[in-house]
Amino acid sequence: MLVIHPLSRCDVCLDEYSFATPDQTPHAISCGHIFCNVCLQRCNPSQCPLCRKGFTRDRVKRLVVDRLPPNEAAEVPGTPGPPLPSQLEREEILLLQRLALVWRENAPQADVDSVITDVKRWLSENDGDRHRPLRNAVEAIRRYANLEEKLAIQISRYESKKSEYSHKSKNMEIIHKNFLEHVQNLESQHKTQVGYSTLTPFSPPLTPPYSWMTPRNRSPS
């Protein structure tokens, strides 16, 4: 049976595991990481918040654990860990985790903007120099968004040029087709005229003698 420390927390929401509510007890996914089921069901898409490996929601396993009593926890070697994070540190960790959740392809832009707005507001209210990881994460997302915007502009220009060239190509095909039809019509007319001239030659001119055209013979006087 798995034994956990009484102060063990979910790495996403940072809340202590509560054994009074089944969804807030430890749950494991295929990659081996453990979170509360509430946070796992909120993952969209279904990817581990830490390693980003995919998991299937209906295969999330609730762990059967035994809580170590507080008096025994202090006697277990290595059990006393670092002091609990302060409220400010917990807020920073939560914001970093929110940034990590939206740092994926096809994330809704509204979700990204909402998290960045919250982070900037939080940094403005606190000493930004003391929270360099959070500031660097926001800067990385900003640069990525700028690159995405530039790429979208280039793709739009390419599609526009492609459409323009396609339109010109179709016009050239129509002009070429009409030109060939015109040439064929001229050739057909020429052949018709030549054939008519061969079958019906010009008649020779009329020549005398005709009685009404020749002078009458006069008798000698």
> Is residue 195 domain-resident?
no
Q: Do 179 and 100 belong to one domain?
A: yes
- For the chain, what percent of residues have pLDDT higher than 90? 0
Q: Do 32 and 69 belong to one domain?
A: yes
Q: Do 167 and 112 belong to one domain?
A: yes
On the question of pLDDT at 100 being above 50, the answer is yes
The total number of structural domains in the chain stands at 2
Q: Do 73 and 37 belong to one domain?
A: yes
> Is residue 193 domain-resident?
no
Q: Do 92 and 174 belong to one domain?
A: yes
> Is residue 214 domain-resident?
no
Q: Do 124 and 56 belong to one domain?
A: no
Cβ atoms of 134 and 93 closer than 8 Å: no
pLDDT of residue 128: 59
Cβ atoms of 134 and 119 closer than 8 Å: yes
Q: What is the reported pTM?
A: 0.39
User: What are the tokens at 48?
Assistant: 């581990």
Arithmetic mean of pLDDT over the chain: 75
> Is residue 196 domain-resident?
no
Q: Do 59 and 133 belong to one domain?
A: no
Which of 24-28, 85-89, 91-95 is predicted least confidently? 85-89
pLDDT of residue 92: 82
Q: Name the pairing type of β-strands 26-28 and 34-36.
A: antiparallel
On the question of pLDDT at 1 being above 80, the answer is no
- What CATH number did the domain enclosing 36 receive? 3.30.40.10
Q: Do 64 and 145 belong to one domain?
A: no
116: confidence class by pLDDT, cuts 50, 70, 90? confident
Residue range of the domain that includes 141: 86-183
> Is residue 208 domain-resident?
no
The per-residue pLDDT for range 176-217, each reduced to its tens digit, is: 888 888 888 888 887 787 766 655 555 555 555 555 555 555
